[in-house]
Structure 1
Amino acid sequence: MDQQRHMQKKLDNDNKHTSPQISTHVAIEVHGAQLYSHKVFEEFKEEVKYSMDTCKSRGFSEGDSLEVTTVSDTNKDRNYKVTYCPFTFKETCSRRMLERKSIICRHVIWIYSYNGLKAIPDECVVNRWCKDAVRSKMFDCNGEAAEDVDIIDGK
């Protein structure tokens, strides 16, 4: 356990005092580097890179307040439907990466970049992946805070 705590404190320190390497200098990637922990940012950076290299629009339709775009992913040779509201910045993608991994996918990043967004909307950010995620206290089986509990019988 001491080794895990030490590693966690080291990673927290690295996240606070170092910056990850940015590859594309796209504004949304720069915001992701400021927002996400290093490990999560590496995955996000790959999505940004692929959005610039492999995504293209294949169709566009506009409703009352929604824009529906078919985004072609040449890397996977598939099309994804992205629904986007320019007023609330809410989006859905048929890939559903935000729901599965809590990170926006390359198709949504492409739509955001196309529409000139320079930051990831707050609705798309999960606090647990952020650099400044607040840790909650740990409790023992009696409901007492773990830091205040004495070790009994070496357990």
Structure 2
Amino acid sequence: MSTTQCGESINAFFYGYVNSKTTLKQFVEKYEKAMESKIEKEWQEDARCFSQRMPCRTNFAMKKQVEEVYTISKFQEFQQQLMDKMYCEVFSCEGSEYEVVKNDGKSKEKTFQVIFERDDGEIRCACAMFECRGIVCRHAIAVMIRTHITFLPEKYIIRRWRKDVRRCYS
């Protein structure tokens, strides 16, 4: 995360609880309330995830794999990337290097470099979405599908967004 993103994240967490006139004593009390609220929202999200299923938009095996383990919100992010891969055209370069051209008709055409080490199950994209957001990007998905990979390697399913993780810490 950039420092700007970290600051925005902290501001969003404390929004409605503290302001510039909050004393240190009040801050500690408000912090506890903010944490309680956050935990309550996580419990509600867990309950919703276990009681609801998202409608299927595709039949890809990796979609089903992720749907079973991710929270609904993270699954929706992944599903959007899976659908947006239709705007990507994959070109082989040398060995494990691929060029993926994204053209959605809305914005300027862009080219992304993707490295896919099939033997290691390692995939890296120049857009760095996985490193920043923890979701495999449309460019990497397009390369995996083109190379007949049906399931995401387990290391690309981030544990902190799994349905079952939050219950372990409670």
Structure 2 length-normalised TM: 0.70
Q: How does 1:1-155 map to 2 (within 5 A)?
A: 1=33, 4-51=38-85, 53-62=86-95, 67-75=96-104, 76=107, 77-134=109-166, 135-136=168-169
What stretches of structure 2 of length at least 5 have no aligned partner?
1-32
8 A contact 2:97–2:114 mirrored in 1: yes
Write the distance in 1 (CA, Å) between the matches of 2:99 and 2:91: 5
8 A contact 1:22–1:45 mirrored in 2: no
Residue 4 of structure 1, CA deviation: 4.6
**3-state secondary structure, aligned to 2:83:** helix
Q: Which whole-Å deviations, capped at 9, do the CAs of 1:106-148 have from their partners, x for residues lacking one?
A: 01111111222222211112111111114536xxxxxxxxxxx
Write the distance in 1 (CA, Å) between the matches of 2:164 and 2:151: 17
Structure 1 length-normalised TM: 0.77
Residue 58 of structure 1, CA deviation: 3.0
User: What is the alpha-carbon root mean square deviation over aligned residues?
Assistant: 1.8
Write the distance in 2 (CA, Å) between the matches of 1:79 and 1:116: 22
8 A contact 1:80–1:107 mirrored in 2: yes
What stretches of structure 1 of length at least 5 have no aligned partner?
138-155
Q: Which stretch of structure 1 is more off in the superposition, 42-51 or 122-131?
A: 122-131
Aligned residue number for residue 145 of structure 1: none
In terms of fraction of residues, the more helix-rich structure is 2
User: Match of 2:117, as an amino acid?
Assistant: C
Aligned residue number for residue 146 of structure 1: none
Task: After the TM superposition, list the runs of 4 or more consecutive aligned residues in structure 1 that deviate by more than 6 angstroms.
Answer: none
8 A contact 2:70–2:163 mirrored in 1: yes
Write the distance in 1 (CA, Å) between the matches of 2:155 and 2:39: 30
**3-state secondary structure, aligned to 2:101:** strand
8 A contact 1:31–1:118 mirrored in 2: no
Write the distance in 2 (CA, Å) between the matches of 1:19 and 1:38: 8
